[in-house]
Amino acid sequence: MFGGRSFMVDDAMVVAARTGGALLVRVPRSRHDDLLARPGAHQAEMGTGRSMGPGWISVAPEAVTTEESLTS
């Protein structure tokens, strides 16, 4: 559905490794804006110009090159 491997918890997708190396990540809505401000993060879209809304961000591959960057 998202062009890569996805991982689910309690029957809900929480992260997907997308074609090209980007990550699609479900985040708490309360932290959405803070996480979106990080380098390499942007609002996730389902097709060009179709925002997935609060709670979903896309993270560029260069933003997650270390284990620490994946967990912080």
pLDDT tens digits along 14-66 = 999 988 889 999 999 999 999 999 999 999 998 888 999 899 999 999 998 88
The strand order across the sheet containing 23-26 reads: 4-9, 12-18, 23-26, 56-59, 41-43
- pLDDT at residue number 2: 58
Model pTM score: 0.82
Contacts of 33 (CB under 8 A, 6+ apart): none
Of the two residues 1 and 9, the one the predictor is more confident about is 9
